[in-house]
Amino acid sequence: MKQSFLEICIKSFAWFSGLFLLSAVFLIMCYLIIKGWGAFGFSLVFGDVPPLDALFLHRKVFSGLFPAIVGTYMLVILAVGMATPVGIAAGIYLAEYGKERIKSFFSLFYDILAGIPSIVIGLFGFSIAIFLHRYIKEIYPCLFISAMALAILVLPYLIRTTQFAMENIPEDVRLTAPALGADKLQNILYVLFPRSLSGITSGVILAIGRCAEDTAVIMLTGVVASAGIPKSLMSSYEALPFYIYYISSQYRTSQELQTGYGAAIILLLICAGLFLTAFFIKNIMIDRILYRS
Amino acid sequence: MINTGKFIEKSFFIAAIFSAALTFIIFVFMIFLSLPLFKGGLFFNILGNPWKPEHGIFGVYPMLIGTVLIVLLSLCWAFPLSLGSSVLISVIAPPRFSKLLKKIVQMMTGIPTVIYGFVGVFLLVPFIREMFNAGSGMNILTASLMLAMVISPTMIIIFTDSFENIPQAYSDAIDALGGSAIQKLIYVILPCSWKGILTGLILSLGRAMGDTLIALMIAGNAVAVPDSIFESARTLTSHIALVIAADFDSIEFRSIFTCGIVLYMFTTILILLVRFLGRMSLKNK
């Protein structure tokens, strides 16, 4: 069959754009890896301090990425720890208890919350810190404030994934426990929640990824370029994405720039790892562990 | 037992209320902190004035223009690219290749924005500088190109989803009539999924507007109103990030809440639009 001119145009444009996108991503990745490969090694993370000394906090690391990695790690744990219980509870309410009208009303609010630019949420966190500072003098933008703001950032995603996972349970599974005499709560706790656990877990992991990569929120709420390991929730801290941003505009030596490339690769690996884990869990793992079939 | 059930239901409800209230609280807080501006009628002045701290003028008009230019230009790059890629994924490419491509696009949504910015600074900026002989190379064009990379994956995912959701009967009808894949695309898929395409565009517009890092790192952050796409500009988001005033009561500091309110309201309007579109398609079915 002879193809018309239009068909050929559309086809070649589609191939062009797909391949263009692929090659752009490929170029970005290759550039990062080639430039940053030389920096890789223990000294990238720990500087000139022996790794074990650094890990047990015997000696401070000044020239490595260790404080930034620890900062990101603590930030993520705090933020996701705060957001997960609230997000899951709200998601369960929406999926199981809410009536149609309440549901659409609430979900409008969650959609708006999800759409708010992260810098605006950072601004909110910053103004909370100032507001509290008037009453308690010790409070400045700090690790805790950042974690709280990040928790707000990921909350709507957690609610949505929980709701989605619960609502997608097939009707016959949903009716089994009530048919055996279980009440609504038992049904949720013993059947519906475990059943949707893989969906919820992958949502949580994606939330971790978002917390780890977000820069706009933390740059307004207490991250600094060099602070060492944070001593308490109320102190400032370092984080990987902010370090990358900082290096890109403020690097002084080529060695600092090298560390920046290294940091970018580490962050990329963390995010890719989390993404793959979420994907893996969603598709395969937990269902198989819980329901050996 | 009934009491525990009631108690747990209550706490679920409180969590839901609390999360919804946060949306509202953020807005109220920003209004509250920029209240002095509203009283003096300064709010609209700030939106229309230039940024000249040395003269005591703290308008965000240049940032407004900068945001609009960068966002629209990035959509101009990202929309055709995403449309083409989604056509490739859902219509043209052989199944295995399209599956692989879809996976890669999904992975791309997980790449941190700061990494795009970082590579942009050291790869794209020098390229644009040499290519167009454009000063520092940090300008609207550069930022919009990188921003297009950031928003494309989301757009492609929404587009392909809506392409694959067309009624099976329509698709079968074209096959039965002996139509080619491209004919199916032109006469069935595209007309059926215009709402999905519009939704994708609106959501990406919101994402592009809300993004801070790309513009902050590679748009140059000049405070003047840009004359061409080869001039550097500052967006509302990067303006918030850049203004760090020590004096919390100064107008300079208050003005960043104006930026915050504008961003908040604009994204809310976009979300309402998307919901409206969703309602429409539900009624039609």
Interface mutation target, options B7, B18, B22, B217, chain A, most CBs of A under 10 Å: B22
Is B122 in a helix, a strand, or coil? helix
Q: Is 80 exceeded by the pLDDT of residue A47?
A: no
A225/B contact by beta carbon, under 8 A: no
Q: What does pLDDT average to in each consecutive run of 10 residues of chain B (285 residues)?
A: 78 92 91 76 74 78 91 95 94 90 90 93 90 83 94 94 88 87 86 90 93 90 85 89 68 81 92 88 60
Distances (CA, A) of B131 to B135, B141, B272: 11, 12, 41
- Within a domain: B134: yes
- Within a domain: B130: yes
- Within a domain: B39: no
Q: Which of B89, B75, B39, B81 is nearest to B211 (CA)?
A: B75
Query: How far apart are the C-alpha atoms of A81 and A69, rounded to whole Å?
Result: 18
Query: How far apart are the C-alpha atoms of A200 and A185, rounded to whole Å?
Result: 18
In a shared domain, residues B49 and B148: yes
Q: Which of A103, A218, A214 is nearest to A160 (CA)?
A: A103
- Within a domain: B27: yes
A116/B contact by beta carbon, under 8 A: yes
CA distance B41 to chain A (A): 22
In a shared domain, residues B26 and B55: no
Quick one: pLDDT at residue B254?
A: 77
In a shared domain, residues B17 and B140: no
Closest chain B residue by Cα to residue A16: B84
Q: Which of B156, B151, B147, B155 is nearest to B124 (CA)?
A: B147
Interface mutation target, options B11, B19, B87, chain A, most CBs of A under 10 Å: B19
- Within a domain: B38: no
Quick one: pLDDT at residue B57?
A: 76
In a shared domain, residues B16 and B52: no
CA distance A290 to chain B (A): 25
In a shared domain, residues B13 and B143: no
Q: Is 70 exceeded by the pLDDT of residue A222?
A: yes
Query: How far apart are the C-alpha atoms of A136 and A152, rounded to whole Å?
Result: 23
CATH number of the domain bearing residue B222: 1.10.3720.10
Quick one: pLDDT at residue B87?
A: 93
CATH number of A42-290: 1.10.3720.10
Q: Is 50 exceeded by the pLDDT of residue A157?
A: yes
Cβ atoms within 10 Å, residue B145? 20
Quick one: pLDDT at residue A293?
A: 45
**Which residue in the set A106, A119, A184 is minimally distant from B237, CB to CB?**
A119
- Mean pLDDT, chain A, rounded, equals 86
How large is the average pLDDT for residues A120-130?
A: 90
Question: Taking CB atoms and an 8 Å limit, are A155 and B91 in contact across chains?
Answer: no
Is B220 in a helix, a strand, or coil? strand
Q: Where are the domains of chain A?
A: 5-39, 42-290
Query: Are the C-beta atoms of residues A217 and A125 closer than 8 Å to each other?
Result: yes
In a shared domain, residues B214 and B247: yes
Query: What is B145-175 written as a DSSP string?
Result: HHHHHHHHHHHHHHHHHHHHTS-HHHHHHHH
**Which residue in the set B110, B121, B240 is minimally distant from A275, CB to CB?**
B110
Least confident piece of the model among A83-97, A220-234, A274-288? A274-288
- Print the domain residue range for B201: 45-284
In a shared domain, residues B143 and B250: yes
- Within a domain: B94: yes
Query: Are the C-beta atoms of residues B237 and B20 closer than 8 Å to each other?
Result: no
A167 contacts: CB under 8 Å, gap ≥ 6: A95
In a shared domain, residues B84 and B12: no
**Which residue in the set A17, A90, A244 is minimally distant from B118, CB to CB?**
A244
Q: Count up the domains in chain B and report the number.
A: 2
Q: Which of A50, A55, A58, A62 is nearest to A255 (CA)?
A: A62
| Predicted confidence (pLDDT) per residue in A54-93, tens digit | 777 767 777 778 888 889 999 999 999 999 999 999 999 9
Cβ atoms within 10 Å, residue A187? 19
ipTM of the assembly?
A: 0.89
B79/A contact by beta carbon, under 8 A: no
In a shared domain, residues B11 and B88: no
- Within a domain: B150: yes
In a shared domain, residues B51 and B28: no
- Within a domain: B40: no
In a shared domain, residues B12 and B80: no
In a shared domain, residues B140 and B8: no
B226/A contact by beta carbon, under 8 A: no
How large is the average pLDDT for residues A108-123?
A: 93
Query: Are the C-beta atoms of residues B63 and B235 closer than 8 Å to each other?
Result: yes
